[in-house]
């Protein structure tokens, strides 16, 4: 869909959340997790979300990625409210506009590396449309995997890869449809510092090329590399500055 | 696209779907074999029934039909009628050359026209082409001279034997299963008794008491016949009961000959009753049987009225061969449909199996489903993975089942024999399985793993247990032939594949596999992606 654009006007808002509320109910007990989150993601911005465990960071990412719906509040993507979208449009939104990267990779064990990446573009097309764009998709997947240093491991199963390599495959999958925003939930959480830094380098390179990112992390040193850092506290997002 | 890709990958990387395919295959094979054998049986019965009856049968109870030759001569004027022949049917005792007396069904026929209607000559056994097929290697009857066989064929076709001195004696053609010289052994072939066979024996004698001998003590009639040939129509029931003799002799045995009316003093009144026959068999000129029946029915009524023969509507019948055999065919047909219905329950087994297996797979794959949803997969798209998976399993299972069914149906004789008399090799193979089981068990004991021990124990049980059972059965002669020719009318179990049933069963298996897949598929579609992805 929309290619990351290097010349984009930095003030364009890609994603905007206003007054997000989300409460989980466990039997009679109500657990308010999001209590009016306001958040803006600018075009080409690398935004980090800090917060203690259980503060609702993942919940927020799921809202932004349309895996879950807010009880109240709005998410607007390039002027379009998710609440107003029809089901098909939301699915297209998830497929094209958003790229998810998870802490534990979530690759499909039955598919090889290349298929794990291509599955993201297969999902967005019916079999007939897929036939006509298959070569293009596989070229794009191979290009990404090459760039991530996995050029000769297309045929391998996820089980045969190291954690860092798996996360690179997951990133290639998130990027293969050329998303607007990558939502990364502790992408280095399962990796040692060295491997984690390599992964961040890859993402930083993408960011330099104009990709917008929302990254959840515990780690202040990672947050230090971001353009902007916010913090989840008591169900709301507050600006964070490193000194405090 | 991803749906098909994943469906195939789930198939390749898992054992359970193979079990599902195997189970679906077995279900399909079961139906195919059972219905094929029943259909084949029905087909054989029909063919055999038709061989001996022609298209249409005219009967008139025990009284029989007057002047059949007169009617036939007129009937044959009709373009639609190819041939017609009178038959006199009665029961008699036969005295065999080896001093056995038994009951037989006697058909008195005019061999030439009877052959035109029924193809009787094709069922003759002692002909240059016909004999020797079922005789075992060592049997002298394989080596009968062609001249002798040609002579026998001629005599069989004429139902008469011309002695060297020129006298012609009435011949008799016996069903192949009547003489003890032709008793089938378990293998379905025949063993010779000494060095004789039926046709060259001394005369056999038929004895019967003619019906309708009013006012007199019934006098048995005995007639000696030269055994000229034997026939086999493939239907054991008939092959072991029936004999053919010339029409004239049969009429004598049943008082159906031409008769003059006599008054009280025994003087002829001048009125002559024509000869009679029990039935008239008709073959049409390729028209449907029902049409031939109508033609014969109309023709007979016209002819009888003109000739002054009274028709008793209670007992007079014109039937197609199928109607005539209905009491015989109908139960088989009903049984086949019953079997088809009962065994169709296996569809539910298919559906249940697929349901259970898919339920397990969906549970296991919840996380992947969550990922796909996060990637933008639609609910129907997710459901399609499992529906297509069901289709694939159904199709593979159906193919497997049809192939398996075909193999069984094709080799049913061999299988029947093997079950009836298991080869010693089976005992050795099972013994070997038991030894492998011992070895697995021992190795499991060494390594401490439980699975090889359980597997080993299973193999030991199956191998040694079954092997010992078979050995015991063989040693004590307890084996029995499942397809007993005497019970099932035919020497060989039918081995015709019922392709129509195979097709419908295969389609049914696919449909019900999909039915079984639909519920787990829907459950997969409704997986909450957030929940699924929280399982880290
Ligand atoms: N489906 C749910 N049902 C009930 N409670 C939930 C559910 N999902 C999340 N929660 C609760 O919401 C709160 C926030 O969860 P969330 O996963 O967003 O935290 P987090 O900030 O990502 O934590 P972590 O840093 O450990 O990943 C937690 O207290 C969690 O127990
Ligand atoms: Mg989290």
Write the DSSP assignment of B453-492 as a string of letters.
Answer: HHHHHHHHIIIIIIHHHHHHHHHTT----SS-HHHHSSSS
B139 vs B185: CA distance, rounded Å: 14
Closest CA of chain B from A78, distance in Å = 18
- In this prediction, residue A8 carries a pLDDT of 44
pLDDT at B333: 83
CATH fold of A9-242 reads Rossmann fold (3.40.50)
Domains of chain B, residue spans: 1-50+325-418+493-536, 54-324, 422-479
Cα dist from B302 to B278, B298, B305, B306, B311, whole Å: 20, 6, 5, 6, 11
Q: From the CA atom positions of chain B, what is the Rg in Å?
A: 33
Give mean pLDDT, residues B182-189: 62
Closest by CA to B507, choosing from B394, B374, B352, B364, is: B394
Q: Which range (B83-97, B265-279, B505-519) has the least confidence? A: B265-279
Spacing, Cα A204 to ligand 2 middle (Å) = 21
Q: Residue A243: its pLDDT value, please?
A: 47
For the stretch B290-341, pLDDT in tens is 999 999 999 999 999 999 888 888 889 999 988 887 877 788 788 888 888 8
- The binding-site residues of ligand 1, defined as CB within 6 angstroms of any ligand atom, are A 24, 26, 31, 33, 51, 53-59
Ligand 1 nearest atom to the CA of residue B530, by list position:
1
Closest residue by CA, ligand 1 atom 7: A24
Inter-chain touch B5–A119, beta carbons under 8 Å: yes
Are B45 and B233 a contacting pair, CB within 8 Å? no
User: Between chains, do B374 and A173 touch, taking CB under 8 Å as contact?
Assistant: no
Q: Which one has a higher pLDDT value, B42 or B245?
A: B245
Specify the residue for token string 């449907």: B288
Q: CA Rg, chain A, in Å?
A: 18
- A177-215 exposure pattern, b = at least 16 Cβ within 10 A, e = fewer: bebbbbbbbbbbbbbeeebbbbbbebbbebbeeebbbbb
Residues of A in contact with B10 (CB under 8 A): 110
For B389-407, what is each residue's pLDDT tens digit?
889 999 999 999 999 999 9
Ligand 1 nearest-atom number relative to CA A62: 18
* Minimum-distance CB partner of A102 among B4, B13, B533: B533
- The residue written with tokens 């001048």 in the block is B270
Question: Is A42:A12 a contact under the CB 8 Å cutoff?
Answer: yes
Q: How far is the CA of A53 from the centre of ligand 1 (A)?
A: 8
CA B199 from centroid of its chain's CA atoms: 29
- pLDDT tens sequence across B332-356: 788 888 888 887 787 888 788 889 8
pLDDT at position B202 over 90: no
To test the contact with chain B by mutation, choose from A22, A61, A86, A108 the residue with the greatest count of B C-beta atoms within 10 A, namely A108
Within 8 A by CB and 6+ apart from A182, the residues are: A98, A99, A100, A101, A171, A174, A175, A203, A206, A211, A212, A213, A214
Backbone angles phi, psi at B172, to 5 degrees: -130, 140
ipTM of the complex: 0.90
Angstrom distances, CA of residue B523 to CA of A140, B63, B455, B528: 34, 75, 35, 10
| Averaged pLDDT, groups of 10, chain A, 244 residues long | 45 90 90 93 94 92 93 92 91 93 91 93 84 88 91 92 93 93 92 90 91 92 91 90 55
Determine the 3-state secondary structure of A167 from DSSP.
helix
| Residue from the list B6, B530, B536 with its beta carbon closest to the beta carbon of A110 | B6
Chain-chain contact of B375 with A106 (C-beta, under 8 angstroms): no
pLDDT at A172: 94
Mean pLDDT of chain B: 84
pLDDT reported for residue B485: 56
Q: Is A88 exposed, middle or buried (0-12, 13-18, 19+ CB in 10 A)?
A: exposed
Lowest mean per-residue pLDDT among B148-157, B196-205, B488-497:
B488-497
Whether residue A170 lies within 8 A of chain B, CB to CB, comes out as: no
Cβ neighbours around B213 below 10 Å, total = 11
B381–A173 CB contact, under 8 Å: no
Q: Which of B62-71, B149-158, B176-185 shows the lowest per-residue confidence on average (mean pLDDT)? A: B176-185
Residue of A nearest to B534 (CA): A58
Residue with the larger pLDDT of the pair B76 and B474: B76
Quote the pLDDT of residue B479: 67
**Which of A27, A56, A216 has most ligand 1 atoms within 8 Å of CB, for mutation?**
A56
Nearest to A106 among B371, B377, B378 (CB): B371
State the pLDDT at residue A244: 45
């Amino acid at each position: 869909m929309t290619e990351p654009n290097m010349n984009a006007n930095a003030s364009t808002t890609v994603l905007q959340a206003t007054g997000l509320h989300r409460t989980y109910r466990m039997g009679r007990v109500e657990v308010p997790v999001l209590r009016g989150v306001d958040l803006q993601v600018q075009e080409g911005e690398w935004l980090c979300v800090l917060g203690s465990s259980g503060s609702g960071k993942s919940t927020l990412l799921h809202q932004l990625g349309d895996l879950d719906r807010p009880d109240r509040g709005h998410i607007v993507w390039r002027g379009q409210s998710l609440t107003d979208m029809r089901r098909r449009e939301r699915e297209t939104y998830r497929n094209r506009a958003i790229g998810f990267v998870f802490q534990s990779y979530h690759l499909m064990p039955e598919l090889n590396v290349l298929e794990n990446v291509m599955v993201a573009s297969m999902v967005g097309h019916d079999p007939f449309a897929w036939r006509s764009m298959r070569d293009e998709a596989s070229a794009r997947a191979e290009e990404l995997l090459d760039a991530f240093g996995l050029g000769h491991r297309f045929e391998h199963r996820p089980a045969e890869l190291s954690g860092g390599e798996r996360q690179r495959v997951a990133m290639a999958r998130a990027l293969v449809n050329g998303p607007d925003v990558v939502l990364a939930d502790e992408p280095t959480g399962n990796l040692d510092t060295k491997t984690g830094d390599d992964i961040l380098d890859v993402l930083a390179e993408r960011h330099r090329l104009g990709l917008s990112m929302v990254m959840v992390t515990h780690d202040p040193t990672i947050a230090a590399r971001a353009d902007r850092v916010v913090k989840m506290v008591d169900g709301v997002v507050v600006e964070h500055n490193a000194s405090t | 696209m991803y749906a098909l890709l994943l469906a195939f990958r789930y198939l390749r990387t898992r054992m359970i779907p193979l079990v599902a395919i195997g189970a679906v295959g077995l279900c399909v094979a079961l139906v195919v074999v059972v219905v094929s054998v029943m259909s084949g049986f029905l087909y054989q019965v029909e063919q055999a029934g038709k061989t001996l009856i022609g298209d249409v049968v005219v009967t008139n109870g025990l009284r029989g039909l007057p002047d059949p030759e007169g009617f036939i001569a007129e009937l044959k004027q009709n373009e639609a009628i190819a041939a017609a022949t009178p038959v006199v049917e009665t029961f008699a005792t036969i005295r065999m050359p080896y001093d056995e007396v038994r009951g037989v069904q006697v058909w008195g026929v005019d061999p030439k026209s009877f052959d035109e209607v029924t193809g009787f000559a094709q069922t003759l056994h002692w002909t240059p082409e016909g004999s020797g097929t079922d005789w075992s290697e060592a049997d002298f009857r394989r080596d009968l001279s062609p001249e002798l066989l040609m002579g026998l064929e001629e005599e069989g076709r004429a139902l008469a034997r011309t002695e060297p001195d020129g006298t012609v004696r009435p011949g008799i053609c016996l069903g192949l299963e009547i003489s003890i010289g032709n008793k089938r052994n378990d293998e379905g072939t025949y063993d010779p008794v000494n060095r004789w066979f039926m046709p060259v024996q001394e005369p056999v004698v038929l004895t019967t008491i003619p019906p309708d001998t009013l006012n007199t003590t019934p006098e048995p009639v005995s007639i000696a016949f030269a055994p000229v040939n034997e026939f086999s129509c493939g239907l054991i029931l008939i092959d072991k009961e029936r004999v053919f003799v010339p029409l004239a002799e049969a009429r004598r045995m049943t008082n159906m000959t031409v008769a003059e009316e006599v008054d009280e003093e025994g003087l002829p009144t001048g009125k002559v009753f024509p000869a009679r026959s029990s039935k008239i068999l008709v073959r049409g000129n390729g028209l449907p049987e029902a049409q031939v029946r109508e033609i014969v029915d109309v023709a007979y009524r016209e002819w009888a009225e003109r000739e002054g023969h009274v028709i008793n509507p209670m007992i007079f019948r014109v039937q197609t061969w199928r109607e005539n055999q209905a009491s015989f065919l109908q139960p088989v047909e009903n049984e086949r449909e019953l079997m088809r219905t009962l065994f169709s329950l296996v569809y539910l087994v298919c559906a249940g199996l697929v349901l259970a297996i898919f339920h397990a797979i969906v549970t296991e794959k919840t996380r992947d489903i969550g990922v796909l949803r996060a990637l933008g997969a639609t609910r129907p798209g997710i459901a399609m993975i499992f529906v297509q998976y069901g289709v694939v399993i159904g199709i593979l299972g159906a193919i497997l089942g049809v192939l398996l069914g075909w193999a069984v149906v094709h080799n049913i004789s061999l299988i029947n024999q093997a079950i009836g008399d298991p080869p010693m090799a089976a005992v050795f193979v099972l013994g070997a399985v038991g030894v492998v089981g011992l070895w697995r068990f021992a190795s499991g004991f060494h390594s401490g793993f439980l699975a090889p021990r359980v597997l080993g124990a299973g193999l030991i049980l199956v191998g040694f247990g079954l092997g010992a059972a078979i050995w015991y059965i063989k040693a004590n002669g307890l084996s029995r032939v499942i397809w007993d020719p005497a019970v099932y009318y035919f020497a060989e179990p039918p081995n015709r594949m019922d392709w129509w049933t195979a097709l419908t069963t295969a389609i049914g298996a696919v449909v019900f596999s999909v039915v079984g897949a639909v519920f787990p598929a829907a459950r997969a579609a409704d997986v909450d992606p957030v929940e699924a992805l929280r399982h880290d």
